[in-house]
Amino acid sequence: MSLEFTLPPPKFKSRKGFMDFLGDLVTETVEEEVEAETIEETRGRPRELKTYIMESNNGAKIQNVTSLIASQLPTDLPEVSILRLEYAGRSAMFYMDAIDTRFLVLYTNDLADVTDVLYNRLVQSTSNKFDKIWLPTEMLDTISHLSGNIFRGFGLMFDDLFIPEEREEQPIHELTMSVTGSSSAEALEALNQREKLRRSLSRSMIRVRRGNTTSFVTDELRFTGRLITKSGASVDDHVSLVETTRTTYRNLIEKVEKNSIGTKRVEGRTQVEGQAFELTLERQIEDLDLFADRLLTPDLPFRLWGLRNEVSKDARHIVAVDLHTGDPLDLEITPSLIRVYIHQESCGNTLLRLYTNLQHAFDSAIRFNGEKIGAV
Amino acid sequence: MHLTLQYGLMVKKLEPCNHTKLMNYIIGMCKKHKDWVSVLADLGYELQLIEQQIRTSSEDTVKPDIVVASNRLLHSVVFECKGGITLDVEQLKRYSSLSSDNLRRWITVFTPESIQFDVCIGDLEENHHFIARMNREFPMITFANDKIFKTGEFKLNQLNAAFKEPISLKGKIAPLSYYSFCEEDKDDYIALFVLRGLVSVAIKNAKGGPSAFEESIITRDDLVKLIFNPVFDALSREHQARLKAKIKDVIRLVMTREEMKGALEAIEEAKGYKISRPLEKFLKEAYQFISFLQTQRPLTEFVKQNPDG
């Protein structure tokens, strides 16, 4: 089902009405993992429910977007609006739930290869302050093992962006893999035991089943915050997983932003607060200048620009800007450590984007303040 | 020492001034960092104030560089950072009349009525000989290349115990970004942050922020803090004014360079799309600009002689 504005748009007079509508977007299927695999793996089956969790520093109102045609219609629910996006002759409808105005949830049942393109254009539009969410490997693992979730698969994606071009011998340069089914946990455990692979096991997605034998859903959650229903029809379980992901991520972002560097006024006094974050590396940085160069390449996923300074033989200071938000940040890099200073009123997502992408492009065993990120 | 940079450019290594270094070293000791000394954080000390003017019991005024306080020990350390070789003896006398009553107005602890404090001079080993000669009253914490050591005694035993032996700095990397820069820093070092700030503003311009060409980015304190220096509003009024003047000098000079101005305009006009090329252009120009500053007299003089830019 795909609606155009030429048809009367749904009004959603109640939350139940909205949930029922989302339920209609999920195609009823029998749980058959094998069946799902025969269809396009990463795009989701046509007309299945897809959900994007989008970070916003601008609330839920879509500003003028120069990169695509966007129209937004209100519904009777103040937090829900209908968004039609169009670019290069392709269009899709999204149903946007802004119950949390910092983390907006966009539901759609249009084709994933269309909705992905449109969503990316929306997120990149500079007039809006949107970003994807960036789920680190350990957070995906935590979510997959939360109460009510059954781990049914995982994807790996590692592409080393930091090796010198002339070097041919490299432990692991690239690794992409997808494993689904009830034995996925054993498969992952086996991979974890391979020393050669341990720094390349960054998760691109997890597959999770929720519900019971009669009402369930199996979702694929990507590290960029996209969920696709792979089998089952329980919209309640799907939305519940969306909520869990959103709140887990929100809690982490709030902790990050609480530690930003800046000042606050307390009873007429100006106090200085904040602390740098430490990303500890298991894989040593061999060439700090090469590392800095790659980190500051605008086209790469880190999206940083910066001026660098040699503090000492073993330390570089990068005075940087997040190209996505324009926020300033400072990085101090040594062979085994990256200190990140997020400035007050800057977006915590900057840090999570850097950390998560370093997992996929440098070292999946990277740690946040010496711990797994759940311990922040 | 030279560093090879992107696009084959070379600039000399940029050094923060001694004051900026000392401020970061001491603030860093209040944080739990893997590769820096956390001796103050381990005793529960947290950073409370920077450059806060405090009236003493004898109606004098002191302006310590850093004030830290520990709830656990109900104790505060008032730091005076001395990056140079001189120490104002009159200033030290004023610290003698600082009391717990004067201090508790400014710091936040659970039971301020019980707070005790020490005044401490922070300095660098290269100047320690000169500073120590002028200070007989207060304990000193000195930063050498390879260690931190104490001279004199704190009133608080736990602090004496913590600094009893020199603390090795082997393998340690000092933080540099808690206190980005100050008025004493050289123009080339300040330029790093000003140039970064201009790029930040140009990108945010597409999201409804001010333009890098607007006067407000340097006249409005809130913008100066957001764009150039995150602890700007903790600085004293006088320091703020002098720092703003320095930032303004750098910006004025940037705006005389057509290539840089053009790149900034292009970043703003691109509204976030296809900005790689102007960013690359600005980066190249930025390194050339910094190299230029390294060969010049202090900018304050330059701008005075060329008031129209």
Chain B residues close to A269, C-beta within 8 Å: 49, 52, 106, 108
Residues recorded for chain B:
309
Return the pLDDT at A177: 94
Q: How far is B177 from chain A (nearest CA, A)?
A: 7
- Chain segment A194-227, per-residue pLDDT in tens: 988 889 999 999 999 999 988 999 999 999 999 9
Q: How far is A326 from chain B (nearest CA, A)?
A: 5
Q: Which of A270, A305, A311 sits opposite B234 (nearest CB)?
A: A270
Give the domain extent around B33.
18-168
Angle formed by the axes of helices B237-254 and B187-205, to 10°? 70
Q: What mean pLDDT is predicted for residues B279-285?
A: 93
Give yes or no for a contact between B123 and B82, defined as CB atoms under 8 angstroms apart. yes
Pick among A319, A334, A336, A340 to test the B interface (most B CBs inside 10 A): A319
Same domain, B124 and B37: yes
Q: What is the DSSP string of A340-365?
A: EEEBTTS-THHHHHHHHHHHHHT-TT
Give the end-to-end CA distance of chain A in Å, rounded to a whole number: 42
Instruction: Note whether residue B173 is domain-resident.
Output: no
CB of A276 within 8 Å of any CB in chain B? yes
Q: What is the DSSP string of A36-73?
A: HHHS-TTT-STT--EEEEEEESSTT-----SSSEEEEE
* A339–B177 CB contact, under 8 Å: yes
Return the pLDDT at A359: 96
* A307–B226 CB contact, under 8 Å: no
Instruction: Note whether residue B175 is domain-resident.
Output: no
Q: What mean pLDDT is predicted for residues A172-190?
A: 91
**pLDDT tops 80 at residue A2:** no
Q: What mean pLDDT is predicted for residues B239-268?
A: 92
Same domain, B49 and B154: yes
- Residue A376's pLDDT band, with cuts at 50, 70 and 90, is very low
Chain B residues close to A300, C-beta within 8 Å: none
Pick among A58, A126, A267 to test the B interface (most B CBs inside 10 A): A126
Same domain, B88 and B222: no
Return the pLDDT at B52: 87
Q: What mean pLDDT is predicted for residues B145-167?
A: 97
Instruction: Note whether residue B176 is domain-resident.
Output: no
Which position has the higher pLDDT, A240 or B298?
A240
- Chain segment A335-355, per-residue pLDDT in tens: 999 999 999 888 999 999 999
Same domain, B90 and B121: yes
Q: Domain boundary residue among B168, B199, B215?
A: B168
Q: What is the DSSP string of A240-298?
A: HHHHHHHHHHHHHHHHHHHT-BEEEEETTEEEEE---EEEE-SSPPS-HHHHHHHHT-T
Q: Give me the long-range contacts of B119-122 (CB less than 8 A, separation at least 24).
A: B119/B64, B119/B77, B119/B78, B119/B80, B119/B95, B120/B77, B120/B78, B120/B79, B120/B80, B120/B154, B121/B79, B121/B80, B121/B82, B121/B87, B122/B22, B122/B25, B122/B26, B122/B65, B122/B66, B122/B79, B122/B80, B122/B81, B122/B82
The pTM of the full predicted model, rounded to 2 decimals, is 0.90
Give the end-to-end CA distance of chain B in Å, rounded to a whole number: 31
CB of A294 within 8 Å of any CB in chain B? no
Q: What mean pLDDT is predicted for residues A108-134?
A: 89
Radius of gyration of chain B measured on its C-alpha atoms: 22
**pLDDT tops 50 at residue B229:** yes
Q: What mean pLDDT is predicted for residues B117-141?
A: 94
Residues 185-224 of A with CB under 8 A from B: none
Strands (E), B147-301: 147-151, 167-168
Same domain, B161 and B296: no
Please state, for a pLDDT cut of 70, what percent of chain A lies above it: 88
* B49–A271 CB contact, under 8 Å: yes
Please state, for a pLDDT cut of 90, what percent of chain A lies above it: 65
Domain count across chain B: 2
Task: Locate the domains of chain A by residue range.
Answer: 1-257, 262-375
Instruction: Note whether residue B4 is domain-resident.
Output: no
CA distances from B186 to A5, B293, B300 (A): 60, 9, 11
Pick among B38, B180, B199, B229 to test the A interface (most A CBs inside 10 A): B199
Chain A residues close to B173, C-beta within 8 Å: 311-312, 314-315, 332, 334, 337
Return the pLDDT at A47: 65
Angle formed by the axes of helices A235-258 and A15-25, to 10°? 110
User: For A23-32, A82-91, A109-118, A324-333, which range has the lowest pLDDT when averaged over its residues?
Assistant: A23-32
Same domain, B210 and B160: no
Same domain, B37 and B158: yes
Same domain, B93 and B196: no
Positive or negative CA dihedral for A230, A231, A235, A241? negative
DSSP assigned state of B43: T
Beta bridge partners of A342: A329
Return the pLDDT at A58: 81
Q: Which of A124, A262, A326 sits opposite B207 (nearest CB)?
A: A326
Residues 58-117 of A with CB under 8 A from B: 58, 66-67
Q: Which of B35, B52, B193 sits opposite A319 (nearest CB)?
A: B193
C-alpha angle B241-B245-B246 in degrees, rounded to nearest 5: 120
Q: What mean pLDDT is predicted for residues A308-326?
A: 92
Within 10 angstroms of residue A182's Cβ, the number of other Cβ atoms is: 12
Q: What mean pLDDT is predicted for residues B219-229?
A: 86
Same domain, B130 and B30: yes
* Residue of chain B with shortest Cα separation from A334: B173
Q: What is the CATH number of the domain that holds B78?
A: 3.40.1350
Return the pLDDT at A299: 73
Residue with tokens 């979702």: A219
- Chain segment A133-180, per-residue pLDDT in tens: 999 999 999 999 999 999 999 999 999 999 877 665 666 688 999 999
- Residue A57's pLDDT band, with cuts at 50, 70 and 90, is confident
DSSP assigned state of B253: H
Q: How far is A145 from chain B (nearest CA, A)?
A: 30
Residue with tokens 């029998």: A30
**pLDDT tops 80 at residue A105:** yes
Give yes or no for a contact between B16 and B189, defined as CB atoms under 8 angstroms apart. yes
* B177–A337 CB contact, under 8 Å: no
Instruction: Note whether residue B232 is domain-resident.
Output: yes
Which pair of structure tokens corresponds to residue A20? 């029922």
* A326–B201 CB contact, under 8 Å: yes
Q: How far is B59 from chain A (nearest CA, A)?
A: 20
- A258 contacts: CB under 8 Å, gap ≥ 6: none
Same domain, B22 and B82: yes
Distance in angstroms (rounded) separating the CA atoms of residues B16 and B182: 9
Distance in angstroms (rounded) separating the CA atoms of residues B66 and B235: 11
Same domain, B187 and B157: no
Return the pLDDT at B295: 84
Same domain, B142 and B38: yes
Give yes or no for a contact between A222 and A204, defined as CB atoms under 8 angstroms apart. yes
CA distances from B93 to A106, A187, B81, B279 (A): 65, 71, 16, 52
CB of A280 within 8 Å of any CB in chain B? yes
Give ipTM to 2 decimals: 0.91
Instruction: Note whether residue B124 is domain-resident.
Output: yes
